[in-house]
């Protein structure tokens, strides 16, 4: 079952090569992808589109990625996966405290990132998507509406 097309991912990464790699990786999985290279571009995109998940590079030219994580979390329940480099250990912790859901350390294995993206989307959508619950799992479903 391919549910990827239901999801729209914002790739916020200022380094062109990494941005292109992330975008093609996500598109290869069937996701809709929008890219941004700065906080300003990301804010523009977020104002226009409802994203399901943001791949957030912590080290950006204008705003701090941590600030963006906090802003996104304050306004929405969008999934946030931070992309950090090894020297940003402290930032990673702060990022999680500020509401990021997960992180991947650069350089990362593409398949690991894809797995984390899918896991997070599944987790985020579990309460809403009762239609995807069937068979054995259905017996554990609790319905609060009627």
Nearer to Ca ion, 52 or 57 (CB): 57
Nearer to Ca ion, 4 or 43 (CB): 43
Cβ 59 to Ca ion shortest distance, Å: 4
Cβ 15 to Ca ion shortest distance, Å: 5
Contact 91/66 with Cβ under 8 angstroms? yes
Nearer to Ca ion, 14 or 64 (CB): 14
Nearer to Ca ion, 38 or 59 (CB): 59
DSSP structure string for 120-138: HHHHHHTTT-GGG--HHHH
- Element at 139 (helix H, strand E): none
Q: Which residue is nearest to Ca ion (CB)?
A: 59
Binding site for Ca ion (CB under 5 A): 14, 57, 59
Q: Are strands 53-57 and 8-12 parallel, antiparallel or unpaired?
A: parallel
Cβ 14 to Ca ion shortest distance, Å: 5
In whole angstroms, how far apart are CA 111 and each of 12, 26, 32, 141? 19, 10, 18, 31
Cβ 83 to Ca ion shortest distance, Å: 8
């Amino acid at each position: 079952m391919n549910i990827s097309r239901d999801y729209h991912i914002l790739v916020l990464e200022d380094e062109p090569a990494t941005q292109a790699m992330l975008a093609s990786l996500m598109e290869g999985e069937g996701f809709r992808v929008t890219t941004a290279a700065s906080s300003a571009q990301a804010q523009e995109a977020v104002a226009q589109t409802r994203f399901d998940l943001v791949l957030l590079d912590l080290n950006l030219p204008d705003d701090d990625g941590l600030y963006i994580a906090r802003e996104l979390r304050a306004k929405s329940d969008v999934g946030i996966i931070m992309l950090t480099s090894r020297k940003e250990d402290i930032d990673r912790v702060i990022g999680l405290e500020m509401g990021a859901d997960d992180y991947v350390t650069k350089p990362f294995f593409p398949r690991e990132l894809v797995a984390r993206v899918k896991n997070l989307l599944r987790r985020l959508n579990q309460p809403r998507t009762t239609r995807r619950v069937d068979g054995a799992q259905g017996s554990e479903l609790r319905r609060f509406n009627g």
